């Protein structure tokens, strides 16, 4: 199994997109890139830890490639928005790829460069080595599936999932 860590705004949206995708073993919300050794949802949302909300994706790279994981990532969010996604504002919602080795770093930069052609504004996604990763609290796991009636899930998460599933139906 291979591992990828990406942050594209609220982790509920990103996690929901990767769930049920062929080749994905798990997609878990978490926090990465900050300085606090014990981040919590509250401290991360307050913007005091330096962490980004991320999703750790464990995948079978004989079924789905790291490159495809990143293509989904660049489709599910707007990578041209600095430190925000829509109304979610702050560095915790930054667009970020946290790589685990040099090969992932090179692939991430190439995919980012390839996707620039689809955006009028510059892609601001940071590409940095993973640091200080922590899995999020259990009540955030499978949030969309467990809370489909939640207003945020209906207005923000569901449309993002529908967009990716429409554009990349072959992955499900």
pLDDT value for 143? 96
Helix 11-18 vs helix 66-76: angle between axes, to the nearest 10 degrees? Answer: 130
Instruction: Walk across the sheet containing 126-129 and list its strands.
Output: 126-129, 95-99, 2-8, 52-59, 24-32, 134-135
Mean of the pLDDT values across residues 145-170?
95
Q: Give the pLDDT score at 27.
A: 98
pLDDT at 169: 94
SS3 82: coil
Structure confidence at residue 145 (pLDDT) = 95
Task: Write down the pLDDT at residue 159.
Answer: 95
Residues 54-98 pLDDT 10s: 999 999 999 999 999 999 999 999 999 999 999 999 999 999 999
At 59 the pLDDT is 98
Domains and CATH numbers, the chain: 2-171 (3.30.1060.10)
pLDDT of residue 63: 98
Containing 51, the helix (H) or strand (E) segment is: none
Catalytic residues: 10
**Cβ neighbours for 117, distance < 8 A, ≥ 6 positions apart:** none
Nearest to 11 by CA among 153, 164, 124, 163: 153
pLDDT band, very low/low/confident/very high, at 105 (cuts 50, 70, 90): very high
Helical (H) or strand (E) element with 41: helix 41-45
Instruction: Tell me the residue length of the chain.
Output: 172
pTM of the model: 0.96
Rounded Cα–Cα distance for residues 123 and 19 (Å): 25
37 and 132 Cβ atoms separated by less than 8 Å: yes
Model pLDDT for residues 5-57, shown as the tens digit of each residue: 999 999 999 999 999 999 999 999 999 999 999 999 999 999 999 999 999 99
For residue range 125-139, what is the model confidence (pLDDT) as tens digits? Answer: 999 999 999 999 999
Q: In which band, very low, low, confident or very high, does the pLDDT at 158 lie, cut at 50, 70 and 90?
A: very high
Nearest to 43 by CA among 126, 35, 133: 35
């Amino acid at each position: 199994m291979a591992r990828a860590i990406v942050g594209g705004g609220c982790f509920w949206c990103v996690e929901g997109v990767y769930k049920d995708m062929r080749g994905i073993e798990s997609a878990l919300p978490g926090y990465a890139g900050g300085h606090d050794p014990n981040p919590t949802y509250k401290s991360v949302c307050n913007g005091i830890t330096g962490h980004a909300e991320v999703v750790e994706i464990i995948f079978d790279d004989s079924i789905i490639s790291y490159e495809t994981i990143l293509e989904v990532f660049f489709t599910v969010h707007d990578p041209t928005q600095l430190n925000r996604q829509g109304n979610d504002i702050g560095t915790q919602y930054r667009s970020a790829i946290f790589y685990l080795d040099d090969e992932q770093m090179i692939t991430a930069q190439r995919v980012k460069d390839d996707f620039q052609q689809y955006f009028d504004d510059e892609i601001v996604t940071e590409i940095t080595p993973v640091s200080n990763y922590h899995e999020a609290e259990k009540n955030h796991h499978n949030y969309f599936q467990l809370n489909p009636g939640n207003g945020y899930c209906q207005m923000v998460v569901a449309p993002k999932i529908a967009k990716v599933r429409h554009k990349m139906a072959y992955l499900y």
